[in-house]
Amino acid sequence: MRWQTLWQAKWILLVLVLASAVAWRLAPWLSVLPAALLVFTLYFFRDPRRQIPEGEDLVVSPADGRVTDIEVMEESEVTGRTMRRVGIFLSVFDVHVNRAPAEGRVVYTAAHDGTYHDARSPMASTHNAARTWGFDCEGTVLVVRQITGAIARRIVPWALPGDRLARGQHFGMIRFGSRTEIYLPLDAEVSVSIGQHVRGGETVIGQLQAGAKLVAAPAIPGEVSA
């Protein structure tokens, strides 16, 4: 377990440890619930090692979860191009660390305020609070969106504009159930299907066309949104 991931749970863990101790002093059976929540919190904030696949132009899943949709649509925030979106729903039982889909440089990141619909709702993609990332992968720009849910209301960014990340390297996390989307070029080969469960940094979700160039990388923003 990475301490960077576990650190995001510090206040939750502190409250649950204190609650368990107080409940135990009052009556041992009262400590069962806070102790169970403590164990679940440690489980939720786990960050297992992953076998990052090797190979030219491979794109790995940026998140653990179930593929809910694969659609062709306009990606207007970063590239201004029509792209293929792969949506991934993360339940509270999935690992919530997000990983870079391919080796590349962070060229864009911005947070967006919004509502907190259930991450399985079609409205979550367009209405919920989110953070968008742009990765320049040797001239091909991949876009990833972290989207909050009804329970997940905090997105934690770890990477900064200008950072160069390896394929499968951590760039942030979403706390509790949520949604992650990745936008691929239309000529990329998609190798996952709706309903499939994927593992962040490990499951290959697509392959870029060798030497294909989508769009020149946008300029790095002078200031990153909080």
**CA–CA dist 149, 89 (Å, integer):** 10
Domains and CATH numbers, the chain: 3-44 (no CATH), 58-207 (2.70.70.10)
In whole numbers, what is the pLDDT of the chain averaged over residues? 87
Residue 212 has what pLDDT? 52
pTM, entire model: 0.84
160-190 pLDDT tens trace? 999 999 999 999 988 776 899 999 999 999 9
225 is catalytic: no
74-118 pLDDT tens trace? 999 999 999 999 999 998 889 889 999 999 999 999 999 998 887
Q: Which of 178, 191, 193, 225 is catalytic?
A: 178
Q: At residue 118, what are phi and psi to the nearest 5 degrees?
A: -55, 135
Average pLDDT, integer, range 25-41: 87
Residues contacting residue 18 through CB under 8 Å, at least 6 positions apart? none
113-138 pLDDT tens trace? 998 887 777 788 888 999 999 999 98
